[in-house]
Structures are given as structure tokens and as C-alpha cells.
A and B are shown apart, each in its own frame.
Chain A
């Protein structure tokens, strides 16, 4: 049983080590994307004219293939994890901005007026009214970003073996060991499903006022529905 998870020594990681590396390489960019997306989205909500051009730029950025994005960065950041993480952060940003804008915009005008009437300033209104109501939409965006990020990290293997679980693909192919390839594919898929499930749980915890099972209201923007 132990042999199933034995790793070639040159990978310098145990299987669990690779899993940890994979999670870090996939999720840190999503976090970075979220941190940047929140203010950008707020700007787009505040200044309506800004949104169409931002949407246009994000659509084009999202279309740039990951491998092309990686290799252009090599010149600046070398063959490193950072080269993989920067594009993933950009993809996350691009998925999250429309999700947050749609979420924040869906807050009814009456609710905002009520908050103002209760004496909420703009900051408090944003943090205590707009963000919680937009939470399902934001988390739906986070799910898409996280799952696609986990899948894309593997491509980093082509960039100086910076692909965490994806590095197993190379070893498996070179030394004709299907076991390693299976470990990589199944491991990545399980990670993606697990993180997806965790985010669903997080949404249920964050929005206790929503009836269970109202999946429909949390639909993601359709064009960004699936990962690359």
C-alpha cells in the first residue's frame, strides 16, 4: 500500500508534500486575486462608465492561454513558482471582478436606503450590508477561480518543473509509470472537488439567512462557467 504513494527521490517531496505545494501554488493566487478584485470591483460599481472597458479587458486577459502567459513571464521571474502564480492570480482577478460587481449591484436600492437611514456611513454600509449580501455571488466566483487554478498549476510542470502534482505527469511519461500519472490526475481532481466543497460549506456558514439548497441564486456568470 505504501508503495502506491512512493515518489521518485528527485522530486524531493512526498506525495503529501506535493499536495501541499499544489494547494499553496493554486490558492495563494486566488487570494491575491480576491484582494485586488475587491477594490477594482468597488470602483466599477462606483463609476459605472468604468465597468464596460474593465469587462472588455478581463475578457481578453482570460482568453490568453496559460502556457503563453507563463512563458512570457519567464524573462522576468525565471523558471519559478512565481511565474506560475502570477498568471493564476490574473485569471482569478478576471473571474472575481464581474462576480463581485454583479453581487454588489444586486443589493436592492431599498436596502441601501434603509442602511443609510439607520446612520451607516459608506464604509460600514459596504462592509455590513453590501458585502454580506454579495457573499453568495463572490463565493461562486471564488469556486470557479479556485477550481480552475488547481487544474492549471499542473501546466507549470512545463516551466522548470514548477507544477507540484503536475510534475508527476512528466516523471510518469518519461519512465513509463502510469501509476504516477494516475496519482497526479486523481489527486488534482480530488483537491479541486474538496476545495469546491469547502467553499460551498463556507457559503452556507457565511449566509445563514439563506434557505439551504438555493443553488440557483448563486450561479456564476455563464461565460466563465468552466475552468480552462
Chain B
């Protein structure tokens, strides 16, 4: 019950809700980091994944990239970038994007390649061009898997952006890192709760996006 008391104390303190170190400000920073990194990663990963998946080429190269990117420790990379580049947006964004591109890339590629070839052939037989096939047949069918790739990328970014606080950045990790230094366990637990909440909210958001955007004929769970 100890933890719950800490959480309660953290959230009921009205001073926590205002100022540059207030919950709304830190949450905003965290969301901003996440969206920026996810946007860049999607801008890189989605087109490449869609094209390689559509043409069916380069799957092995992508798997290799994903495996090697997975081995890179994102926390270490962040500290290294901070040391090399100094304070700025780049030391945070580079590791976050490096982290997020592989799941998007690989999942999109796999999703496109696992599309049933029969409808694609039918579309070609009906006289659809390649772009039409890509956007009107393959993309809608592959959407659930593509979304799951984006989802795991987003969750990893939320998680890793927390660690950015260690190299002097804002976001919800601030509470955890500062709290650990100040031996203010209430702050630490409050920050952890917020981060976990944001991660779960991301899950729910993607689940909702899937419900809205995936065609009913494609949806597996009906």
C-alpha cells in the first residue's frame, strides 16, 4: 500500500500541476519528443518498407539492419551522442529514431509481403496501376500489421525518452531522475506512474486507431 500512498501524495499536491516542472509541462515535452521521433522514423521507415514490400526485394537486408539496430544499447547511444554533440535536440532524437525505424521498417515490409497475392493479381487484371494496387489493395490489407509496427515503435520511444532526462532533457523522466538524486521517492514513483500511464495510453490510442482505420473485412477479430 506504500506505493499507492506515494502516488496519491504526488498527484494531490497542487504545486505539481503548474510551472515549468509541472505535470502538464513535462507531459507535453514527453509527448512532443515522442511525436517528433515517431514522425521522423515513420517518414523514413514507412516509404522504404512499403516499396520493398511491394516489390518483394531487400527483405534480407532489412532483417540484417533490424538485427544490428536491436543490438545497439539506446541508453548508451544517448549518453554517447550527448557527449559528442553537446546539449541539443539531436542527442535525444538520433537514438530515438534509430530505435524506432527498425520495427516500422521490418513490420511494414513483412506486412506488405504477407498480403494475399490473389487480390493483388485480380487488381492487376482489372487494370489498376502499380500505385493504385499499392494504395488501394495492399495498404488497406496490410494496415493492421503496419499499425502494430508503429505501435511498438511508439511504445519504445515513450520508454526511452524517459531516460533522456539523465542527459539533462525534459519530459516525464525528469521526475524519476531528479527524484532519485533528491531522494524524493514520492516524486520518483509519481513520475513512473505517469510514464507507465502514457505507455498504456499509447497502446489504447493505437487500438482505437486500428478500430477506426482498418476495414471491417480485414479486421481479424471481427
Interface size class of B (residues with CB under 8 A): 35 or more
The tally of CB-CB contacts under 8 A between chains A and B is 159
Residues of B within 8 A of A147 (CB): 70-71
Is residue A97 contacting chain B, with contact meaning CB distance below 8 A? no
- The answer to whether B80 touches A74, judged by C-beta atoms less than 8 angstroms apart, is no
Is residue B203 contacting chain A, with contact meaning CB distance below 8 A? yes
- The answer to whether B166 touches A64, judged by C-beta atoms less than 8 angstroms apart, is no
Q: A74-B185, A151-B72 are in contact. Are A65 and B63 (CB under 8 A)?
A: no
Task: Provide the bound-state CA to CA distance between A166 and B79, in Å.
Answer: 10
Q: A65-B162, A71-B192 are in contact. Are A154 and B75 (CB under 8 A)?
A: yes
Q: A154-B73, A192-B70 are in contact. Are A185 and B80 (CB under 8 A)?
A: yes
List B110-166 residues whose CB lies under 8 Å from chain A. 110-111, 145, 148-149, 151-152, 155-156, 158-160, 162-163, 166
- The answer to whether B102 touches A226, judged by C-beta atoms less than 8 angstroms apart, is yes
- The answer to whether A228 touches B180, judged by C-beta atoms less than 8 angstroms apart, is no
- The answer to whether B75 touches A169, judged by C-beta atoms less than 8 angstroms apart, is yes
- The answer to whether B196 touches A189, judged by C-beta atoms less than 8 angstroms apart, is no
Task: Provide the bound-state CA to CA distance between A167 and B159, in Å.
Answer: 20
Q: How far is the CB of B146 from chain A (nearest CB, A)?
A: 10
- The answer to whether B162 touches A193, judged by C-beta atoms less than 8 angstroms apart, is no
Is residue B188 contacting chain A, with contact meaning CB distance below 8 A? yes
- The answer to whether A225 touches B102, judged by C-beta atoms less than 8 angstroms apart, is yes
- The answer to whether B70 touches A223, judged by C-beta atoms less than 8 angstroms apart, is no
Query: When the two chains form the complex, which single residue of B103, B162, B166 contacts A225, counting CB atoms closer than 8 Å?
Result: B103
- The answer to whether B167 touches A173, judged by C-beta atoms less than 8 angstroms apart, is yes
- The answer to whether A65 touches B185, judged by C-beta atoms less than 8 angstroms apart, is no
- The answer to whether B195 touches A68, judged by C-beta atoms less than 8 angstroms apart, is yes
Q: How far is the CB of A90 from chain B (nearest CB, A)?
A: 13
Query: When the two chains form the complex, which single residue of B71, B74, B177, B203 contacts A60, counting CB atoms closer than 8 Å?
Result: B203
Is residue A92 contacting chain B, with contact meaning CB distance below 8 A? no
Q: How far is the CB of B192 from chain A (nearest CB, A)?
A: 4
What's the tally of chain A residues with a CB closer than 8 Å to chain B? 49
Is residue B107 contacting chain A, with contact meaning CB distance below 8 A? yes
- The answer to whether B192 touches A68, judged by C-beta atoms less than 8 angstroms apart, is yes
Give the residue name and chain of the A residue nearest to B192 (CB): A68
Give the residue name and chain of the B residue nearest to A63 (CB): B199
Residues of A within 8 A of B110 (CB): 219, 222
5 contacts between A and B (CB under 8 A): A68-B192, A151-B75, A169-B76, A215-B63, A225-B149
Using a CB–CB distance below 8 Å, which chain B residues touch chain A?
A: 2-3, 63, 66-77, 79-80, 82-84, 99, 102-103, 106-107, 110-111, 145, 148-149, 151-152, 155-156, 158-160, 162-163, 166-167, 173, 176-177, 179-180, 185, 188-189, 191-193, 195-196, 199-200, 202-203
Using a CB–CB distance below 8 Å, which chain A residues touch chain B?
A: 59-60, 62-69, 71-72, 74-75, 144, 147-148, 150-151, 154-155, 157-159, 165-166, 169, 172-173, 176, 178, 181-182, 184-185, 188-189, 192-193, 196, 215, 219, 222-228
Starting from the known contacts A225-B102, A226-B152, 16 additional A-B residue pairs (CB-CB under 8 Å) come to A64-B199, A65-B199, A68-B191, A69-B196, A158-B163, A173-B167, A176-B83, A178-B83, A181-B76, A181-B79, A184-B76, A222-B110, A222-B111, A226-B69, A228-B156, A228-B159
